[in-house]
Amino acid sequence: MNRTVYGAGLASHPAGVHLCVSVYSTNLRPAISLVCADDEMPYGVLSVNLPDANLADDEILVTGDWNLPTDLKAALLETGKFVQTGRWNQVGFDRGDVWRIADAEILAEVAAARVVASRAKAARRTASLV
């Protein structure tokens, strides 16, 4: 999968970020973070985890404009990997948009991360009972 997304206002040169896919350990929702394409340094996070937010398994709550530049979010949407749903949730003093993950490879990575996280959680529960 081509993980590099280009957009204006990015900190790295060449201007780009890589998408990193995982899940939140508390509820196994998709977690998308960004690292600089040239030096692999953390750049930011695309998704936030609000346990009370009503999201489908293939949806993420995207951080408000205070966290990521709007031009980067536009570049992420232009890749076709994500689709705006038109829904949003309150995130602190701002609002977060709900995006659907449209990329099959990202969805497969989320599914694999859920399996790994579920097994780790089960192992921790078993270890605490012993």
pLDDT higher than 60, residue 83: yes
| pLDDT value for 125 | 54
pLDDT higher than 80, residue 122: no
Query: pLDDT tens across 1-59, in order?
Result: 556 777 655 655 566 888 999 999 999 999 999 988 888 889 889 999 998 899 999 99
Q: Which residues, in sequence order, are CB contacts of 39 under 8 Å at separation 6+?
A: 12
| pLDDT value for 8 | 55
Q: What is the mean pLDDT of residues 69-80?
A: 89
| Positive or negative: CA dihedral 103, 74, 36, 92 | negative
The DSSP secondary-structure symbol of 7 reads -
How many domains would you assign to the chain? 1
Domain that holds residue 31: 4-129
| pLDDT value for 96 | 86
Q: Is 68 helix (H, G, I), strand (E, B) or coil?
A: coil
Q: How far apart are CA 19 and CA 37, in angstroms?
A: 9
| pLDDT value for 11 | 58
